[in-house]
Amino acid sequence: MFVQAGGLRMRVGRVGAGRPLLLITGIGAHLDMWAPFARLMAGRELIAFDPPGAGLSQRPRFPLRMKGLAEVVRELLDALELECVDVLGYSFGGAIAQELARRAPDRVRRLVLCATAPGLGGTPPRPLAALMLATPVRYYHPRLLALTLPFIAGGDTARDQGVLPEQARERLLGPPDPIGYAWQLYAVTG
Q: Can 91 be counted among the known catalytic residues? A: yes
The dihedral over CA atoms of 89, 93, 96, 101, expressed in degrees to the nearest 10, equals 0
Nearest to 94 by CA among 125, 128, 140, 131: 125
113-124 burial code (b ≥16 CB/10 A, e <16): bebbbeeeeeee
Distance between the two ends of the chain, CA-based, in angstroms?
A: 30
**Residue 102 CB neighbours (<10 A):** 12
Q: Are the CB atoms for 119 and 135 separated by under 8 Å?
A: no
User: Which of 25, 91, 116, 184 is labelled catalytic?
Assistant: 91
H runs (alpha helix) in 41-141: 66-79, 92-103, 127-133
Contacts of 22 (CB under 8 A, 6+ apart): 47, 48, 73, 77, 82, 85, 86, 87, 88
Taken in order 102, 106, 110, 114, the sign of the CA dihedral is negative
Q: Just list the catalytic residues.
A: 91
